[in-house]
Amino acid sequence: MPRSFRYRVIDVFTEHHLEGNPLAVFPDASGIDDVTMQRIARELNLSETTFVLPPATSECAARVRIFMPKNEMRFAGHPTIGTSFVLIDEGIVPKGCDTFLLEEKIGPVPVRVEAGIIWLTTPPINDGRVFDSALCAQALGLDPSDLLGPAPQLLSAGNPNLFIALRDRAAVDKANLELSGVPEFGVVEDPATGRDRTARRLHDAK
């Protein structure tokens, strides 16, 4: 017999309805298999969808799995913050509890609540490959002089992101990522943040 699973859609990083980063949260995802989780995330087609499960260890308040439309993530910031809000609002994390851990693919992620604001501690950031500045400028439709040192580099706190420093705001406004041949995970851009998901995948295509 088909089962029903309740979910909530919330807005993160905003004080106003229908703004910020949207997130779908399944507060009780027990019984949903991996394939179905991915299919649900693809169907909802938000930047991320999270599924809350019982933790493997008693030190964590819950286990959280984070899915983009085409893949699962080891860690992500706005899904962690948004899921924490839902856990507190639903009483899964008791109101008044100002520190707790969420079990994610990358490991336990510390969360704290201060004056009603939810904060997280980012997992350790690892340095990755350094890229050719001229190549990155070309991919962004810019001149090499639009870039600012240091050299473009992959940094990862569980999910690799390619950081390219630009000279000024005008260079940012002028940037236009060339998408042909660049893999992406079903989300070209995060609403509200303007973070281009595809840019970080340049290393897969070059």
d(C-alpha 29, C-alpha 174), whole Å = 43
**Amino acid occupying residue 66:** I
In words, the CATH class of domain 126-205 is alpha beta
Q: What is the pTM of this model?
A: 0.85
d(C-alpha 19, C-alpha 1), whole Å = 37
pLDDT, one tens digit per residue, over 59-116 is 999 999 999 999 999 999 999 999 999 999 999 999 899 999 999 999 999 999 999 9
Q: Can 8-120 and 126-205 be said to share one CATH topology?
A: yes
Q: Hey, which residues are catalytic here?
A: 48
State the CB neighbour count (10 A cutoff) for residue 11.
Answer: 19
d(C-alpha 66, C-alpha 12), whole Å = 15
Is the CA virtual torsion 123, 31, 8, 22 positive or negative?
A: positive
Residue 203 above 50 pLDDT? no
Order across the sheet with 126-130: list the strands: 126-130, 153-156, 160-163
Residue 197 above 70 pLDDT? no
Homologous superfamily in CATH for domain 8-120: Diaminopimelate Epimerase; Chain A, domain 1 (3.10.310.10)
What's the token pair of residue 27? 């507060």
Q: What is the C-alpha R_g of the chain? A: 18
pLDDT, one tens digit per residue, over 107-154 is 999 999 999 999 999 999 999 999 999 999 999 999 999 999 899 999
Q: Where are the domains of the chain?
A: 8-120, 126-205
